[in-house]
Amino acid sequence: MSASQQLVIKASNLWYSHDATDIMAGVSFEVHGGEVFGVMGMSGAGKTTLLRLLMGLVQPDAGEVFVDGESIVGLSETQLNRIRAKMGMCFQYSALFDSMTVAENLAFGLRRRNKLPEEELRRKIAEHLEIVGMHGTEEMMPSELSGGMKKRVGIARALILNPDIMLYDEPTAGLDPIMASVIDDLIVRLRDEFGMTSVVVTHEVDELLSIADRIMMLYEGQIIACDSPAALQQSENPYVQQFVHGTASGPIEV
């Protein structure tokens, strides 16, 4: 396993309800340094909410989230911003600024953070576009890009801020299968080449089976399994089997 055993994220007995429904009902898990940690659950299972909890964008009703060993529940916005600086977020919808070029999109966060000489900024932008396979697109506008290209620019925009952890929300939703595999390869390559720690949430189980080191399955606010793809594929738990095989019949009501 390429992952070190360093704990990067730890969620401990998280509870979160919305409109009197428990979305997280005692969820605990750990994400190790350098691993691709997948979170699988059906639509509405609370995957996006979980990412928001990890970033401190919403507060749990009970439980703790630790990032690099530091408890983030109840921190002030200033302290949370310091924690969030460790995390790169790839949103479900690419969320690029439509009125800015690709280069300006990448420069935006950097400019806010520190004053870099223009030359250095340009070099960093080129380097990060190269990493995501978007070399030479600096002057393009988001409207000229395909869905997969936008996604990659969104990833570059997060990476350029040098995060320790990347969080992906349905990174391949709406992409054709070829573009989806380009994004999946990129997530894996960031782990292999840079030791990036990633949390990938999706309802696409096949995607996680092929890229994740471990997969956590969420159902009705609880973790029904958290294991390697190989172990999940061999699991005799009927819930896990239904997720893995994507069948309509089984204990999970669809």
Count of residues of this chain found to bind ligand ADP when the rule CB under 6 A is applied: 10
Cβ proximity to ligand ADP, 34 vs 171, nearer residue: 171
State both tokens at 22.
Answer: 């428990």
Cβ proximity to Mg ion, 33 vs 221, nearer residue: 221
Q: Give the interface with Mg ion as residue ranges (CB under 5 A).
A: 47-48
In the complex, what is the shortest distance from the CB of residue 17 to Mg ion, in angstroms, rounded to a whole number? 17
Q: Which does 242 bind (CB under 5 to 8 A by kind): ligand ADP, Mg ion, none?
A: none
Nearest residue to Mg ion by CB is 48
Q: How far is 139 from 219, CA to CA, in rounded Å? A: 44
In the complex, what is the shortest distance from the CB of residue 170 to Mg ion, in angstroms, rounded to a whole number? 6
In the complex, what is the shortest distance from the CB of residue 121 to ligand ADP, in angstroms, rounded to a whole number? 34
State both tokens at 160.
Answer: 């350029």
Task: Enter the DSSP assignment of 72.
Answer: -
241 lies in the binding site for ligand ADP (CB under 6 A): no
Q: Which does 45 bind (CB under 5 to 8 A by kind): Mg ion, ligand ADP, none?
A: ligand ADP
Q: Spell out where 41-86 has E strands.
A: 62-67, 70-71
In the complex, what is the shortest distance from the CB of residue 49 to ligand ADP, in angstroms, rounded to a whole number? 3
Task: Enter the DSSP assignment of 53.
Answer: H
In the complex, what is the shortest distance from the CB of residue 74 to ligand ADP, in angstroms, rounded to a whole number? 19
From 25-33, 36-44, 67-75, 79-87, span contacting ligand ADP (CB under 6 A): 36-44
Sheet holding 214-219, edge to edge: 87-90, 165-169, 197-202, 36-40, 214-219, 222-227
Residues 12-31, one symbol each (x = binds ligand ADP by CB under 6 A, - = not), give ------x----x--------
Q: Spell out where the chain has E strands.
A: 7-18, 21-32, 36-40, 62-67, 70-71, 87-90, 165-169, 197-202, 214-219, 222-227
* Region at 32 (left for phi over 0; alpha for psi -120 to 50; beta for the rest): beta
In the complex, what is the shortest distance from the CB of residue 178 to ligand ADP, in angstroms, rounded to a whole number? 25
**Which class for 52: exposed (0-12), middle (13-18), buried (19 or more C-beta within 10 A)?**
middle
Q: Which does 41 bind (CB under 5 to 8 A by kind): Mg ion, ligand ADP, none?
A: ligand ADP
Residues 41-70, one symbol each (x = binds ligand ADP by CB under 6 A, - = not), give x-xxxxxxx---------------------
172 lies in the binding site for ligand ADP (CB under 6 A): no
Distances (CA, A) of 187 to 65, 181, 196: 24, 10, 9
Q: Sign of the CA dihedral 55, 57, 58, 59?
A: positive
Interface ranges with ligand ADP (CB under 6 A): 18, 23, 41, 43-49
